[in-house]
Amino acid sequence: MVVTQNSDNKVVDALGFTLHPHLYTNAPGSHRVDICITETPTQLHFDPERLHCRIRSNSDDVEMLQVRYRKSGMGLAETYSLIAGPISLFDRMGEEVIFITLGGKLTIQIQEATTFCKIESPVPILQKDHVHRISRMLAEEIEILLAERRAAWLPNVDQFNKKLAAVDPFVLYATCLESMRSSYLRLPVASNSRAQEMLGFVRREMRVLRERGQWASWWSAPPLTDIL
């Protein structure tokens, strides 16, 4: 955790959180999510009460973090390294919104009447129940890939967690895209509309990342089994 002075104060929309568009046209998901956990619920929309996520601990392991409204530490910003996997946001009625991330940064700022949380990542942050079909399917596919690798490490979950805590978000994203591409190519795509749609997306996304210089032309994504 890093603690700094910060005056960031953003307006959060009528859902109780704001999804910022990703950094390039037609990218899936968001590159940033802003969340305000308030002292007093507005009762006008989804009122975030607590945030659950996994962060990298001081020993480079995985640690659970729960964020609620608090008054202590006003004006300071705490920064944490996020671990790939789900981030759950709950309201006072028990409703849950889930985001899937491949790693990034969580900044928490204590303000007068809110605890302001900013989630940032160099790769897409995906809302599981998002109206955008591709974003929703990509979140599902990434969850499956991570679950398969976790299962492969059983019962040595601690070793899996250490690898997950160490992996670079872009490398993990690129590796997931390559894993999906290889899987779809082995399927009879012509008779599977979901696979056909996802294969088209994966190919476009890989091409765009190369055109933007994020995915070097000489670099090949390693097999998922090599990094997790």
Tens-digit pLDDT profile for residues 11-26: 555 567 888 887 777 7
- Domain residues for the domain of 64 are 2-127
Q: Please check whether residue 28 is in contact with residue 134, taking contact to mean a CB–CB distance below 8 angstroms.
A: yes
Cα–chain center distance at 155: 25
Which pLDDT tens digit goes with each residue over 109-118?
988 778 899 9
Q: Based on the domain organization, do 163 and 111 belong to the same domain?
A: no
Q: Are strands 96-101 and 62-68 parallel, antiparallel or unpaired?
A: unpaired
Contact 158, 165 (CB under 8 A): no
In angstroms, the CA 153 to CA 161 distance is 10
Structural tokens at position 12: 């959060």
Residues 138 and 99 both lie in one domain? no
User: What's the average model confidence in pLDDT over 40-58?
Assistant: 85
Which residue would you say has higher pLDDT here, 152 or 22? 152
Domain count, the chain: 2
Which of 70, 98, 127 terminates a domain? The answer is: 127
Q: Tell me how far apart the alpha carbons of residues 10 and 99 are, in angstroms, rounded to a whole number.
A: 20
64 lies in the same domain as 104:
yes
Alpha carbon distance 161, 159 (integer Å): 5
Q: How far apart are CA 79 and CA 101, in angstroms?
A: 16
Q: What is the pLDDT of residues 26-43, one digit of tens each?
A: 788 899 999 988 887 777
99 and 152 co-located in one domain: no
The whole-model pTM stands at: 0.88
Last residue of a domain, which of 127, 156, 181?
127
One domain for residues 41 and 119: yes
Is residue 169 within 8 Å of residue 81, measured between CB atoms?
no
Last residue of a domain, one of 97, 127, 157: 127
Tens of pLDDT, residues 157-185? 999 999 999 999 999 999 999 999 998 88
Comparing C-alpha atoms, which of 79, 49, 85, 40 is closest to residue 67?
49
What percentage of the chain reaches a pLDDT higher than 90?
A: 52
